[in-house]
């Protein structure tokens, strides 16, 4: 493998890896406040991309993206209020099935609105063939948009959880729900916030990745599984772990193409998921004892 | 004997459907009824895993596809070029091969459906153990994701492997001769006999599972579902019970796949799709989780409607909506729904106060 090709693969890997990390962080936010895995997480990414593409007819690109993110946030809030808020202590099995149902519903609605066609947003700068040369490899500027946006999102998220009162209340809710209620925190609202927040993250990721990866009504399931793989690999609930694990999975996946046919790419990342689940269900960085206490 | 009483209306229903369709000259309904029965074979197996052992599996379409694809591939791949190989001669001398003709009239030498079926079931058992031993140590989300992952891998493999026909699947699967003149095939002339074959198989499956859950195994499973740690401390080998039930359900799914493939004469990758697995879970949920007859009734009804194309392009959406509504308002199944409770919930958006099942 030449050095150029190697760098090309690395960049492809970290681009996808950044997206997986964002999906994984979306999982973590909801998992931390509710203890459930939202199987519809990948649909937020799909909705962000699809809505912004549709809105592009009526407004400029930045506006369309902002509007798409806002609409997806509203959808995230609606999902929580309509389907989840009023259930009292639902079993894990019940929550899994409900969120799977929600993801099917969103996907089918998307299919009826947008059809099966593959769409994409235009490149933010230049077009498909614009590229920047790095050590001999040719990288699309959109890759930097993806990486930049993901970095900014992660930094802002960290700031949000550390510095704002809502962020601190959400962390309190994650640490100990009963204690948070006793401190006067409205934990139900925190759950809604967590859905809104992870919808926003997913939608924005869906917008910036759209020019490179394209958007279609059914991309959600694959993203959700890979995002989940990353969330587990990095230790469920840990954002820092998710970023490292995301980049790792993205790079492995990118290099798997040089060994196996492209059509097996998804099978590779899922096989990794199964291996992790079977060997280290607490993740690469998590503690086994802490994981044993969690109620999956 | 009480547990067998439910079979009386069941047999009456099966015969009535046959008589009604033959009087009204609508025998074509029997085709969908036959297919529904095969799907139900998978569903009642899954029902024991989900309802009684309390383990979710989002990968059962994978086992169905293993059954169907292995059977289809072995009974259609022509061994005529390899007939001088020792292995092929050995198979031949053991009566495991049969000859046939393809649509161009060329001679085919293929493995008999019985042997292919055996191979499919053995593979399903092996894979079920392979996936089940580590996966059943997981709980909740992890188990759901692991089985979902397994299903997607199977889907990706059949979709990307030329031996399994890639996106086209495998067609021209020969009839499965059970004994004498009785065979599983999509031939119009044998539609009625196939209808009864499917329902007899389903009956056998039901008898087996009803006896299973009425036995020591069933009580152990219910104990596991109720409180796994408690069952464990009472000396129930929870891991072994869960694993064996999972493997049994995989065998049911593989057999369903084998028979369905011979009945249809073909199989395609959509049978391995995630939506199929989700659909089976939805049907078990609608039937009431720990309720074999409920799963059977809902399995027949929903599959029949779906196969008749009643849901049109909203087929998948219907099953998504069913999942959500059952889990929100009737986690104990449609047959045990408490309408007053649901009405109050819907009207006032009251929180569900009842204890979780």
The pLDDT assigned to A186 comes to 86
User: Cα B178 to the chain's mean position, in Å?
Assistant: 20
3-state secondary structure of A32: helix
Please state the rounded mean pLDDT for residues B307-313: 84
Instruction: Measure in Å the smallest separation between the Cα of A107 and chain B Cα atoms.
Output: 8
Cβ–Cβ below 8 Å for B320 and A105: yes
CA B281 – CA B291 distance, rounded (Å): 13
- Is residue B3 predicted with pLDDT exceeding 80? no
Of B145, B320, B353, the CB nearest to A108: B320
From B71, B76, B115, select the one nearest B92 (Cα to Cα).
B115
For β-strands A137-139 and B182-184, DSSP reports them as: unpaired
3-state secondary structure of B350: coil
The DSSP code for B173 is: P
Q: Which residues of A touch B54 (CB under 8 A)?
A: 93
B162 in contact with A at a CB cutoff of 8 Å?
no
Q: Which value does ipTM take for this structure?
A: 0.82
For residues A121, A123, A128, A131, the Cα torsion angle rounded to the nearest 10 degrees is -160
Please state the rounded mean pLDDT for residues B264-281: 90
A208: CB partners within 8 A, 6+ apart: A124, A142, A145, A146, A149, A150
From A265, A244, A213, A252, select the one nearest A10 (Cα to Cα).
A252
CA B288 – CA B51 distance, rounded (Å): 8
The model's pLDDT over A189-239, given as tens digits with 9 standing for 90+, comes to: 888 999 999 999 999 999 998 988 888 888 888 888 888 888 888 888 788
pLDDT band at B342 (very low <50, low <70, confident <90, very high): low
Instruction: Measure in Å the smallest separation between the Cα of B290 and chain A Cα atoms.
Output: 14
Please state the rounded mean pLDDT for residues B16-26: 88
The pLDDT assigned to B246 comes to 92
The pLDDT assigned to A45 comes to 93
Q: What are phi and psi of B7, to 5 degrees?
A: -70, -20
3-state secondary structure of A281: coil
The pLDDT assigned to A121 comes to 86
Domain ranges of chain A: 3-219
**Searching chain A, which residue's CA lies closest to the CA of residue B282?**
A97
* CA distances, B269 to each of A213, A290, B165, B274, B335 (Å): 24, 41, 9, 11, 33
Instruction: Measure in Å the smallest separation between the Cα of A42 and chain B Cα atoms.
Output: 14
Residue whose pair of structure tokens reads 């690999």 in the numeric block:
A233
- Least reliable range by pLDDT among B162-176, B189-203, B244-258: B162-176
Q: Which residues of A touch B152 (CB under 8 A)?
A: 225, 266-267, 270
Chain B, window 201-230: residues with a beta carbon less than 8 angstroms from a chain A beta carbon: none
Q: Which residues of B touch A86 (CB under 8 A)?
A: 345, 349-352
Cβ–Cβ below 8 Å for A267 and B153: yes
CA A48 – CA A210 distance, rounded (Å): 9
Mutation site, B145, B243, B315, B317, interface A, largest A CB count within 10 A = B145
Interchain CB contacts (distance < 8 Å): A and B: 132
Sign, CA torsion B120/B121/B124/B126: negative
Task: Report, as ranges of residue numbers, the positions in chain A whose pLDDT lies below 50.
Answer: 295-296
The pLDDT assigned to B122 comes to 95
Instruction: Measure in Å the smallest separation between the Cα of A271 and chain B Cα atoms.
Output: 8
SS3 sequence, B23-58? HCCCCCHHHHHHHHHHHHHHHHHHHHHHHHCCCCCC
How many Cβ atoms are within 10 Å of B168's Cβ, its own excluded? 10
The pLDDT assigned to B4 comes to 82
The model's pLDDT over B82-138, given as tens digits with 9 standing for 90+, comes to: 777 777 777 777 777 777 766 676 777 788 888 899 999 999 999 999 888 887 777
The model's pLDDT over B249-269, given as tens digits with 9 standing for 90+, comes to: 999 999 999 999 999 988 999
Task: Please state, rounded to an integer, the average pLDDT across all residues of chain B.
Answer: 84
Cβ–Cβ below 8 Å for A86 and B352: yes
Q: Which residues of B touch A228 (CB under 8 A)?
A: 145
pLDDT band at B349 (very low <50, low <70, confident <90, very high): low
Residue whose pair of structure tokens reads 């004498």 in the numeric block:
B180
How many Cβ atoms are within 10 Å of A176's Cβ, its own excluded? 11
The pLDDT assigned to B66 comes to 94
How many Cβ atoms are within 10 Å of A288's Cβ, its own excluded? 10
Cβ–Cβ below 8 Å for A273 and B331: no
Q: Which residues of A touch B317 (CB under 8 A)?
A: 104-105, 108-109
Instruction: Measure in Å the smallest separation between the Cα of A93 and chain B Cα atoms.
Output: 6
Please state the rounded mean pLDDT for residues B269-289: 88
* CA distances, A78 to each of A112, A196, B194, B255 (Å): 20, 9, 48, 42
3-state secondary structure of A294: coil
CA A248 – CA A243 distance, rounded (Å): 9
């Amino acid at each position: 493998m030449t050095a150029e090709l190697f760098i090309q693969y690395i960049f492809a890997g970290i681009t996808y890896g950044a997206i997986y990390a964002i999906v994984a962080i979306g999982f973590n936010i909801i998992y931390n406040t509710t203890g459930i895995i939202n199987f519809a997480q990948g649909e937020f990414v799909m909705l962000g991309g699809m809505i912004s593409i549709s809105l592009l007819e009526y407004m400029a690109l930045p506006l369309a993206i902002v509007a798409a993110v806002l609409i997806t946030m509203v959808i995230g809030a609606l999902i929580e209020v309509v389907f989840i808020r009023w259930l009292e202590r639902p079993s894990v099995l019940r929550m899994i099935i409900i969120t799977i149902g929600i993801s099917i519903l969103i996907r089918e609605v998307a299919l009826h609105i947008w059809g099966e066609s593959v769409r994409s947003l235009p490149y933010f700068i230049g077009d498909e063939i614009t590229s920047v040369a790095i050590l001999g490899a040719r990288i699309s500027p959109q890759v930097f948009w993806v990486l930049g946006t993901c970095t900014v999102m992660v930094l802002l998220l960290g700031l949000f959880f550390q510095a704002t009162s809502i962020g601190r209340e959400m962390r309190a809710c994650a640490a100990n729900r009963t204690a948070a209620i006793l401190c006067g925190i409205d934990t139900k609202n925190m759950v809604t916030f967590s859905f809104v927040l992870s919808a926003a993250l997913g939608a924005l990721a869906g917008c910036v990745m759209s020019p490179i990866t394209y958007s279609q009504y059914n991309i959600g399931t694959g993203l959700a599984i890979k995002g989940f793989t990353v969330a587990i690999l990095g230790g469920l609930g840990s954002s820092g772990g998710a970023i490292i694990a995301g980049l790792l999975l993205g790079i492995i996946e990118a290099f798997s193409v040089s060994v196996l046919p492209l059509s097996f790419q998804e099978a590779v990342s899922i096989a990794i998921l199964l291996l992790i689940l079977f060997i280290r269900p607490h993740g690469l960085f998590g503690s086994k004892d802490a994981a044993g206490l969690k109620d999956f | 004997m009480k547990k067998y009483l439910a079979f009386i209306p069941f047999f009456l229903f099966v015969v009535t459907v046959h008589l009604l369709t033959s009087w009204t000259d609508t025998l074509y309904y029997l085709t969908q009824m036959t297919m529904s029965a095969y799907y139900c074979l998978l569903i009642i197996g899954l029902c024991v895993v989900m309802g009684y052992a309390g383990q979710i599996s989002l990968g059962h379409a994978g086992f169905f596809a293993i059954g169907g694809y292995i059977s289809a591939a072995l009974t259609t791949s022509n061994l005529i070029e390899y007939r001088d190989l020792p292995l092929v001669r050995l198979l031949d001398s053991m009566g495991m091969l049969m000859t046939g003709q393809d649509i161009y009239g060329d001679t085919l030498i293929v493995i008999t459906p019985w042997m292919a079926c055996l191979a499919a079931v053995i593979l399903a058992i092996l894979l079920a153990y392979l996936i089940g031993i580590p996966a059943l140590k997981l709980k909740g989300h992890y188990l759901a994701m692991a089985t979902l992952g397994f299903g997607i891998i199977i889907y990706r493999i059949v979709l990307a492997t030329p031996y399994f026909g890639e996106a086209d699947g495998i067609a021209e699967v020969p009839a499965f001769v059970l004994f004498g003149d009785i065979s599983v095939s999509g031939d119009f002339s044998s539609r009625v006999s196939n209808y009864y074959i499917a329902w007899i198989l389903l009956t056998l499956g039901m008898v087996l599972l009803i006896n299973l859950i009425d036995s020591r195994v069933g009580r152990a499973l219910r104990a596991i579902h109720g409180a796994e740690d408690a069952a464990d401390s009472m000396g129930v080998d929870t891991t072994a019970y869960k694993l064996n039930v999972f493997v049994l359900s995989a065998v049911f799914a593989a057999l369903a796949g084998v028979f369905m493939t011979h009945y249809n004469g073909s199989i395609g990758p959509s049978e391995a799709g995630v939506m199929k697995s989700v659909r089976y879970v939805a049907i078990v949920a609608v039937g009431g989780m720990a309720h074999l007859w409920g799963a059977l009734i809902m399995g027949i009804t929903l599959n029949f409607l779906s196969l008749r194309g009643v849901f049109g392009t909203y087929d998948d959406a219907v099953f998504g909506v069913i999942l959500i509504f059952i889990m929100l308002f009737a986690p104990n199944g449609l047959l045990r729904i408490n309408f007053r409770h649901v009405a109050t919930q819907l009207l006032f958006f009251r929180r569900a106060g009842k204890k979780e099942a």
